[in-house]
Structure 1
Amino acid sequence: MDNVAIADLFAGLGEVSIRRMFGGKGIYHNGLIIGIELRGELMLKGDEISAPELEAAGARRWRYTGSRHGKLVAMPYWTIPDEAVDDPEEFGRWARKAYEAAVRWQSKG
């Protein structure tokens, strides 16, 4: 997904910046990372408050097996709920939740 398409998706939230990372892209709003694009898949930031909602909406958490220790690692990013894929208003709602999760993550410090 190119940067213009990503910015268009997040237009309901406001301006985003996009930076290369993890072999993909980090998506930032107001200086906080709110999502990533990795291997063609867009994922939104979640936390202990938003994760149950994401899971209930059918989103999947990003997990990978660590190369050094062979253990499953769960990252704080979730796939886009199906209901938001083709609905800009619904996507905007989830993008706001991702930003709220990022604010909470930052406040944990």
Structure 2
Amino acid sequence: MVASDNFAEFLREQLAPLGRVTMRRMFGKTGVFCDGVMLGMVTENTLYVRVDDHNRAAFQEAASHPPLNYEKQGSSIDLAFWRVPERLFDEPDELVTWARAALAAAHRVAAKRGRATSGRASNPR
């Protein structure tokens, strides 16, 4: 399920210190982009952010929840997006800190894949 309009607007406001935050529907979910780089996904108004080997230790609190996943040929495939703890929505500065770490991971993933990490904006919703 995609992010509600209210939740999407809340995220854009909260994550504004990172840069231009946009949302785009994809795979039945909502992708969260900053300056064209996908740092997170929302499903059922729950924010999941990009995690990789460099920032995994900082996200151990998020590891208590299963990562975002999808079903493929009868198997569950975990994605590198971990659920943000609910308490962060009451701590805007810490939410931005987590999002900044997720954005750094998203840039590393994009660099590995040979994609530009700036200059390409997504749907400006």
TM-score under structure 1 length normalisation:
0.85
Partner in structure 2 of residue 47 of structure 1: 52
Q: CA RMSD in A?
A: 1.8
Segments ≥4 residues shifted beyond 6 Å = none
Q: Which has the higher contact order (CA 8 A, sep 6+)?
A: 2
Correspondence for 2:101 among 72, 97, 100: 97
- Percent identity over the alignment is 28
Which one of the candidate residues 35, 40, 43 is aligned to 1:35? 40
Alignment partners' CA distance in 2, 1:102 and 1:39: 22
Aligned length: 107
Per the normalisation by structure 2, the TM-score is 0.75
The one-letter code matched in structure 2 to 1:86 is D
Gaps of 5+ in 2: 114-125
Which of the pair is proportionally richer in strand? 1
**Farther-moved stretch of structure 1 (36-45 vs 81-90):** 81-90
